Structure 1
Amino acid sequence: MDSYIEIIGFVAAFLTTAAFLPQVYKTWKTKDVTGLSLPMLAMFFVGILAWLVYGLLKDSPSLIFANSITLVSSFILVYFKIKYHNK
């Protein structure tokens, strides 16, 4: 039963993480950050960090996988928002 639960977790992890990556790519290519809110990105980053810690404490591979990738992606968006805010 636990393996089915973890499979559902990996499917959810893949979909939610994959859905976020096009925004990172688009921002990287266009350097347009006008539609990105720095406070939202900061709260999202901290929330994902908390989910990653939770996943580590629960020893959940799907949570660790998804939130590790999303943490890096959200950090990149924060970086782009700061770097390109005047362009």
Structure 2
Amino acid sequence: MSLAANVVGSAAAVCSVTSFAPQMIKIWKSRDASSVSLRTYALTVTCFALWVGYGVMTGAWPVTVANSLALLMSAGVLIMKWRFRDGDPDVKDGRGSPR
């Protein structure tokens, strides 16, 4: 494989993995994931899981590693979607009751 192909593949992997960071940070700070699409992230997690399986079966370790990291990041968003789907359940509104 050429150096150029390795550079492009590495850049793609970094972009794939880090693309979930802004969404994760936003959800974590606001404790609200109501605007995140459950279906989109469920499909995204499934997609990365399948790519990891493909990478393992074909011995394509760059594919396996990159998609494993992206799977972790997208799964993190999906977990926070379930946890904070209606806002933070531990935060109470001004009347002393959960939102």
Answer yes or no: is 1:11 the counterpart of 2:8: no
The runs of 4+ residues in structure 1 deviating greater than 3 Å are none
Q: CA deviation at 1:14?
A: 0.8
Percent identity over the alignment is: 27
Q: Which residue of 2 aligns with 1:39?
A: 39
Count of aligned pairs: 86
Q: Which residue of 1 aligns with 2:67?
A: 67
Q: Is the 8 A contact 1:32 1:84 kept in 2?
A: yes
Q: Give the distance between the partners of 2:61 and 2:25, measured in 1 at CA.
A: 25
After TM superposition, the score normalised by the length of structure 1 is: 0.83
Q: Give the distance between the partners of 2:69 and 2:25, measured in 1 at CA.
A: 14
RMSD: 1.6
> Which of these two proteins has the greater Rg computed from alpha carbons?
2
SS of the equivalent of 1:86 reads coil
Greater RCO structure (CA 8 Å; 6+ sep): 1
Q: CA deviation at 1:60?
A: 2.4
Structure 1, unaligned runs of 5 or more: none
Q: Give the distance between the partners of 2:54 and 2:6, measured in 1 at CA.
A: 15
SS of the equivalent of 2:20 reads helix
After TM superposition, the score normalised by the length of structure 2 is: 0.75
Answer yes or no: is 1:28 the counterpart of 2:28: yes
Q: Deviations over 1:14-72 (max 9, x none)?
A: 12211222211221121121221111111111001011111222322321222111111
Q: Is the 8 A contact 1:9 1:63 kept in 2?
A: no
- Identify the structure with the greater helix proportion: 1
